[in-house]
Chains A and B, each alone.
Chain A
């Protein structure tokens, strides 16, 4: 299942829950229950808003067309190792991402990988199907 399908499934789940909540609203006269149900509706709306934003990002970033036209050779990429003032960049499928402030890249390293390198292969083996790339900023591509 790709990221887009995951987002769509989650939106469907929220819509189903909203439908159930509305059904309950028709049947209750208790104002406390009503308030609780209305809060639940608002939460579902908030979820859907977040998911549609994720869907937009997924379309533009997970199958990304780099917003930046900047090109990197692997040698240039190696300078962006997250040390001494340099940001931390990694390449995945020829797209260069910024992981400088990403929590999972503490000290500009992640499960034995270091920033400034091409991590396509380990990414594919560990994170296939996970909506991760859509959350990263694209900074260019590999020539």
Chain B
């Protein structure tokens, strides 16, 4: 019951979407029908889990996008430069054409002084300043992960640094890819789509419908157990975890199809309830993550 059916054409088509988009964009770049775009990736108030997740991408992998799809201009975790030399690369794009990816929320308390991303010409640069400067001028802004999209864990109660999602600070529309972390496919597919066709179709919460259209509950391999009223009483059992407080019925994203770590598994496949990490309000509104003694 934990294996997603490979015979379902809906599932297999969805799994191929990102690979098709990325390779089509790379082909178009090689044929010079579209231009390679510059990519800036800002890591702000978060855990850097999204850039790590991106490195875990498979078919297409990180190397494909870093070498063939975009000019990866700036990411503080991955670039060889450090200190002002790194910031020099970032600020060299100030008036250029680039796509901005942001992970992590933005600390706004005391003018953002609780998150300094580096020093430029001797002065500290706050995450707040960086988002305002590079966000308003970017060709597109993609918020990668739940913190950048809606505040997420960084903005969880009591939120001492007064963190907010990126959209709260920008007078423009951003594309949101919530998830803790964001699946590499969601980012790579969105990036390739932007380069090929401009903005993908988004839902009311600014998430691409190609990834965020379906409730986990509706494509969950354990759905038959729910329908039959067979429920797990503790994690580790192989049945439906609705009574444990599973958030699959309120979370729209395609984890059951795409899975994680080179498509090996996902939380429910490992007998742990969905905690709704790709949904607005995570984590505060998704707690408690586990409930016992539910009727």
Nearest B-chain residue to A103, judged by Cβ: B249
User: With A104-B250, A106-B247, A106-B249 as given contacts, are A112 and B295 in contact (CB-CB < 8 Å)?
Assistant: no
A88 to B245 Cα, complex, angstroms: 13
Give residues of chain B (145-202) contacting chain A, Cβ–Cβ below 8 Å: none
- Inter-chain contact B295/A111, CB cutoff 8 Å: no
Distance from B219 Cβ to chain A, minimum over Cβ atoms (Å): 13
Which of the segments A9-17, A32-40, A78-86 contacts the partner chain? A78-86
A84 to B233 Cα, complex, angstroms: 12
- Inter-chain contact B288/A107, CB cutoff 8 Å: yes
Q: Looking at the complex, which one of B249, B286, B293 makes contact with A83 (CB distance below 8 Å)?
A: B293
Interface residues on B, range: 20 to 34
Binary interface encoding of chain A residues 85-127 relative to chain B, with 1 for a CB under 8 A from any of its CBs, else 0: 1111000000000001101101111111000000000000000
Q: Does B70 contact A (CB under 8 A)?
A: no
- Inter-chain contact B281/A107, CB cutoff 8 Å: no
Q: Which residues of A contact B288 (CB under 8 A)?
A: 107, 109
- Inter-chain contact A104/B295, CB cutoff 8 Å: no
Q: Looking at the complex, which one of A82, A104, A108 makes contact with B249 (CB distance below 8 Å)?
A: A104
Q: Looking at the complex, which one of A83, A103, A106, A109 makes contact with B295 (CB distance below 8 Å)?
A: A83
Q: Looking at the complex, which one of A82, A101, A111 makes contact with B250 (CB distance below 8 Å)?
A: A111
- Inter-chain contact A108/B281, CB cutoff 8 Å: no
Distance from A108 Cβ to chain B, minimum over Cβ atoms (Å): 5
Interface residues on A, range: 10 to 19
- Inter-chain contact B295/A86, CB cutoff 8 Å: yes
User: With A83-B295, A103-B226 as given contacts, are A111 and B281 in contact (CB-CB < 8 Å)?
Assistant: yes
Q: Does B81 contact A (CB under 8 A)?
A: no
Q: Looking at the complex, which one of B242, B284, B286, B287 makes contact with A103 (CB distance below 8 Å)?
A: B242
A101 to B227 Cα, complex, angstroms: 10
Nearest A-chain residue to B217, judged by Cβ: A103
Residue with the highest number of chain A CB atoms closer than 10 Å, among B245, B290, B294: B294
Distance from B52 Cβ to chain A, minimum over Cβ atoms (Å): 29
Q: Does B109 contact A (CB under 8 A)?
A: no
Nearest B-chain residue to A85, judged by Cβ: B295
Q: Does B42 contact A (CB under 8 A)?
A: no
Can you list 28 A-B pairs, Cβ within 8 angstroms, ordered by A? A82-B294, A83-B293, A83-B294, A83-B295, A100-B295, A101-B229, A103-B249, A104-B250, A106-B242, A106-B243, A106-B244, A106-B245, A106-B246, A106-B249, A106-B250, A106-B273, A107-B244, A107-B245, A107-B294, A108-B291, A108-B294, A109-B288, A110-B250, A111-B250, A111-B285, A111-B286, A112-B281, A112-B284
Ranked 8 nearest A-B pairs via Cβ: A107-B245, A107-B291, A103-B249, A112-B285, A111-B285, A106-B246, A106-B245, A106-B242
